[in-house]
């Protein structure tokens, strides 16, 4: 076992949580991520494996909120799979074993910062950040959009007041600043 200590995307040793009157912005450091892209000619087998893994193949603009692995659609024949890092540190390797030559797997754990934004003011906050029709999104909707020039995924969770935001990890600080500023505006 190695002795290297990981840091969170915001640079701390533990995830950061910011609480406001009607909203909580919590850094989520517990996600392992890997992308899955179907190989040409193997789409059906790839879909079958996805279905086996998640219970369904995520449709365009949708996520499948499954445990322990969940997934959302990124682009044509391309999905992001997420799972708890504690149990799935080697998620990409596991998926490679599962999908074999039917898909290209790329480790994405380090590429993203994840924030869970929860509270009754969540829709108001999202309206100050990006163009997604937040009040029309239902559980399992997953949209990619721009938040202050940063490409982010927004995933509507089962709790109607909960949105999960994945953004570029190197800009975790900028994205966090945007979320906190918007929270001050609306909370």
- Name the site residues for other proteins (rule: CB under 8 A): 1-9, 11, 35, 37-41, 60-61, 73-76, 78, 90, 101, 104, 106-112, 127-128, 130-133, 135-136, 143-146, 148-151, 168-175, 177-178, 181-182, 184-185
CB of 129 to other proteins, least distance (A): 8
In the complex with other proteins, the residue whose CB is nearer, 41 or 158, is 41
| Closest distance of CB 106 from other proteins, Å | 5
Q: Is 99 helix (H, G, I), strand (E, B) or coil?
A: helix
Q: How far is the CB of 79 from other proteins (least distance, A)?
A: 11
Beta carbons within 8 Å of 64's beta carbon, 6+ residues apart: 54, 55, 56, 57, 58, 70, 71, 72, 140
DSSP labels, 40-72: TT-HHHHHHHHHHHHSSPPPTTBEE--SS-EEE
Distance (Å, whole) CA 84 – CA 114: 12
* DSSP state, residue 39: P
Closest approach of other proteins to the CB of residue 49, in Å? 15
The neighbouring-strand residues paired with 103 are 38
- Judged by beta carbon, residue 4 or residue 86, the one nearer other proteins is 4
Q: Considering beta carbons, is residue 68 or 151 the nearer one to other proteins?
A: 151
Q: Are 153 and 143 a contacting pair, CB within 8 Å?
A: yes
N-term to C-term CA, the chain: 45
**Identity of the residue, 69 or 79, whose beta carbon is nearer to other proteins in the bound complex:** 79
CB nearer other proteins, residue 159 or residue 181: 181
Closest distance of CB 51 from other proteins, Å:
19
């Amino acid at each position: 076992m190695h002795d290297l200590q990981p840091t969170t995307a915001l640079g701390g040793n533990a995830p950061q949580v910011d609480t406001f009157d009607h909203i909580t912005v919590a850094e989520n450091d517990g996600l392992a991520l890997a992308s899955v892209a179907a190989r040409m000619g193997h789409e059906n087998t790839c879909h079958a494996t996805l279905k086996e893994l998640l219970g369904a193949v995520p449709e365009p603009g949708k996520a499948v909120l499954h445990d322990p692995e969940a997934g959302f659609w990124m682009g044509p024949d391309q999905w992001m799979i997420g799972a708890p890092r504690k149990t799935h540190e080697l998620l990409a390797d596991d998926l490679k074993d599962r999908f074999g030559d039917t898909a290209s797997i790329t480790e994405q754990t380090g590429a993203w910062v994840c924030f869970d934004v929860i509270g009754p003011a969540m829709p108001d906050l999202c309206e100050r950040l990006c163009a997604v029709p937040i009040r029309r999104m239902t559980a399992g909707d997953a949209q990619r959009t721009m938040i202050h020039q940063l490409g982010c995924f927004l995933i509507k969770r089962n709790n109607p007041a909960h949105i999960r935001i994945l953004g570029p990890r190197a800009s975790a600080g900028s994205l966090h600043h945007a979320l906190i500023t918007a929270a001050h505006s609306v909370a």
